[in-house]
Structure 1
Amino acid sequence: ARRQWNLQEHPDLRYKQLYNFGAAMVQMANDEKIVGSLPAQQLNMDEDNKAVIFERNNLIFAFNFSPTNSVPDYRFKVPVPGKYKIILNSDKGEFGGHDRIDDEMTYPTVALFGEHFLSVYLPSRVAIVLKKV
């Protein structure tokens, strides 16, 4: 296939935002050495909310595939307790998102029944990556 890299420069199209997200995603993968890490471990599969969460190389990847259902206070089990911070957020305006998530927040885990849980706002059609700080 022939790629048309000039489309990202067209002001009426959203290819620039897609390019920005792709560049940020590759940069994060390189910085966190994801490619050479162990395989991912599934943490949560929620068919009702269309959410998938997994851990790879001490990063938490959370995806909400629902076109309409945003979930405030979405709680899921994590393997390591502590505070987590968003390092990649597909909802940023520069990526074509709606800026519904504050990237400056930290998310502390909560211990329930001997296990550790994290609670985040997971808007519709969003992917976030969290890292323990």
Structure 2
Amino acid sequence: MFDIETEADGVLRVLADTEDRLRNWRPALNEAALYMEREVKQNFLKQEDPDGNPWVPLAQSTLEQKRKRKAPLVILRDTASLVSGIAARPASDTQASVETTAGAEYGIWHQLGTEKMPQRRYMGFSQRHIDAIELIMVGYVEG
């Protein structure tokens, strides 16, 4: 007859920690939301959509108006209220979000475009974002 000894305490601790993480996704969801908030704000700095495509340039008439007002000649940043209104919301147990806060409701017109205004998407997911969020989630589960 023989005995097998293991250090079950260590294994049990790892399993218990993993179980705790699987019951509470909030930290990982918060991290994913903050990642997306940074990415959306980068779209404004780069003046491109989530897929990396440049935004439609400003019309000559818009550039002239901006010069007269001495406004920045960058796209979607006259007052910076839209970009500064982008914020990650605290996650629940099952979801997280990044949204445009009150005061910048006009952002939807830029996101979707209108008959007179070209679409300039600043929010959305590309494959790069999906891959990064997957790494966040896997890293969280693995501890």
Q: When the two structures are superposed, what TM-score results if normalisation uses the length of structure 2?
A: 0.25
Q: Please say which structure displays the higher CA radius of gyration.
A: 2
Q: When the two structures are superposed, what TM-score results if normalisation uses the length of structure 1?
A: 0.26
Larger RCO, structure (CA 8 Å, separation 6 or more): 2
Name the one with the larger helix percent: 2
Name the one with the larger strand percent: 1
